[in-house]
Amino acid sequence: MDDASYAFINQQYVTGQQNGADTGFIDVTSYIRNGLNEVTFLTYNRYDGYAWGFEIMKNGEIIFDDTEGLTGAIAAYDDYSEEDQFVYNKTISINATKCTTMTTTSSTAAVTTTVLLNKTGKEKTSTEITIPTSTTSEQLIPSVIIDHNTKWKQNAITVAGRLAFGNQSNELSGPLSVYVDDDNRCIYIADTVNNRIVKWEFGADKGEIVQRKNQPGNPENILNLPRDVLLDKEKKFLIICNFDNRQVMKWSLYSDNQVDPVMIRVIPCWGLAMDNNGDLYVSEWDKHQVRRFYDGDRQGTVVAGGNGQGNQFNQLNQPHYIFVDKDHSVYIADYMNNRVMKWIKNAVQGSLIVPGQVFNENPSSSVQPISVIVDHMGNIYVSSKDSHQITRWSPGEIEGTTVVGEKEYGWGPTQLINPQALSFDQQGNLYVVDSGNHRIQKFVIDRA
């Protein structure tokens, strides 16, 4: 069989077999924009012709599968003869590290190697393609579009911790926050009661403590009820809300010899967020405001609240976790005001996007919201105090819809107890910090 040709033409990934048996293409524009890093093209040589298909992979997980017919052919002819075998299996690694948007002009990628793989898998190489990009500040978003119709499988997978609190490597105790690092296939957990940050690789049965205690004996450098954790833009440092010490810490993932890991002192932090420029946002629960900090900035700028404790639209009352979108709008779980607020960039007041309960007229309304995240279409996902469910609020709606969890608390795969921070991964799966059960639950997106 002749080698196949590969090229990016007007943002379409085109394949063809030069012998003319089969040709096809797939538009992978959105996948490239959103972090595609691997394409597998398969051809299966059957006795009556060729079958072909695609698998688009991101970090080892299939995000697009067009191999159903091919898979069937392989299964049907598993007892293949000399003519029945894999004749082409090409995996292409795409360098899309900084690929935030694609230019609209035609471009051709350079294919540096080819691969032929028979069914015994004796020969396999990879192909590197470098994609021309235009640099923007737009964040890479999940590869799967999440909207108001998206559903998740109700039986969650426990990806960290277990149904018993403790301080062993396979245990958590009252965790409050989770950060998903898709690129390195792991999560970071603010294991609050254990006063530590835990790194837990995808599929692992135990975690690794990544807390660094520089200058032993110095209480300033010891974690004390950490409430939130994330990575900096370059993914070289952990940024930690060290709640009881009223600090924001910046701990290197690669060095144990930091002189001073305290990034911001005397700050009543609760939630952290980072925009696509790498600027840090911190909610200050007893100052009733959110500040933004540029790299190296220790003073910060108030971007929400800052007008005293209150319930006016220019005020906050004990803000908890926060979320920042690609336009640098800040979404705030305004805890004591029973509402979620949105402050667009440079606004002098916020807008109400998740209302509080008013005289029991809208019982599904948010009561003391704890965490908030936002999907591609602007739908809001909220965890709330004394609720064991996660609700979704579409723009303009006055009632939320339950997406996971049950009304009654519990420890089953469909149940939660005191859920805290929320996060999506690049495949659209929903992660919930099931604090009362001392575990992190992953609700897999339902593609049915």
Which structure tokens are listed for 351? 């807008």
What pLDDT score does 408 carry? 95
Spatial CA neighbour of 316 closest among 373, 252, 271, 276: 271
Q: Give 67: exposed, middle or buried? Use CB within 10 Å, 0-12, 13-18, 19+.
A: buried
Domain count, the chain: 2
Return d(Cα 58, Cα 273) in angstroms, integer.
Answer: 24
The model's pTM is 0.69
69 phi, psi to nearest 5 deg = -65, -40
Does residue 262 lie within any of the structural domains? yes
**DSSP-based three-state secondary structure for 21:** coil
Of 66, 92, 118, the position where a domain reaches its end is 66
What pLDDT score does 141 carry? 47
Lookup result for tokens 């299964």: 75
For residues 157 and 17, membership in a common domain is answered with no
33 phi, psi to nearest 5 deg = -60, -30
Q: What is the CATH number of the domain that holds 189?
A: 2.120.10.30
Q: Would you list the DSSP string of 398-429? A: SS-EEEEE-SS--SSTT--SSEEEEEE-TT-P
For residues 47 and 157, membership in a common domain is answered with no
Q: Which residues does the chain have with pLDDT short of 70?
A: 1-143, 212-221, 356-366
What pLDDT score does 402 carry? 96
**DSSP-based three-state secondary structure for 27:** coil
For residues 248 and 370, membership in a common domain is answered with yes
For residues 157 and 44, membership in a common domain is answered with no
- Residue 42 identity (one-letter amino acid): L
Which structure tokens are listed for 316? 């906050």
What pLDDT score does 211 carry? 74
Does residue 78 lie within any of the structural domains? no
Does residue 121 lie within any of the structural domains? no
User: Which are the contacts of 247, defined by CB distance < 8 A and separation ≥ 6?
Assistant: 220, 262, 263, 264, 265, 266, 267, 269
Does residue 30 lie within any of the structural domains? yes
Does residue 101 lie within any of the structural domains? no
Domain hosting residue 45, numbered range: 6-66
Return d(Cα 323, Cα 272) in angstroms, integer.
Answer: 8
CB contact at 8 A, 58 and 95: no
Of 18, 40, 66, the position where a domain reaches its end is 66
CA distances from 117 to 44, 79, 124, 156, 204 (A): 11, 18, 6, 37, 30
**DSSP-based three-state secondary structure for 60:** coil
Which structure tokens are listed for 321? 């976790």
Which structure tokens are listed for 401? 């819809």
> Tell me: the pLDDT tens digits for 343-372?
999 999 999 998 865 434 454 556 899 999
Structure letter (DSSP) for residue 230: E
Lookup result for tokens 């590869």: 143
H or E element in which residue 32 lies: helix 29-33
For residues 61 and 196, membership in a common domain is answered with no
What pLDDT score does 367 carry? 82
Which structure tokens are listed for 405? 């969890």
Cα angle 27, 15, 113 (rounded to 5 degrees) comes to: 115
Which structure tokens are listed for 432? 């919930």
Beta pairing class for 389-393 and 380-384 = antiparallel
336 phi, psi to nearest 5 deg = -75, -10
Q: Give 197: exposed, middle or buried? Use CB within 10 Å, 0-12, 13-18, 19+.
A: buried
Does residue 130 lie within any of the structural domains? no
b/e sequence 124-138, b meaning 16+ C-beta within 10 Å = eeebebebebeeeee
Does residue 140 lie within any of the structural domains? no
> Tell me: the pLDDT tens digits for 287-346?
999 999 998 898 999 999 999 999 999 999 999 999 999 999 999 999 999 999 999 999
Of 33, 48, 66, the position where a domain reaches its end is 66
Does residue 143 lie within any of the structural domains? no
Spatial CA neighbour of 411 closest among 443, 438, 444: 438
Return d(Cα 267, Cα 284) in angstroms, integer.
Answer: 7
Helices (H) and strands (E) in the chain, counts: 2, 32
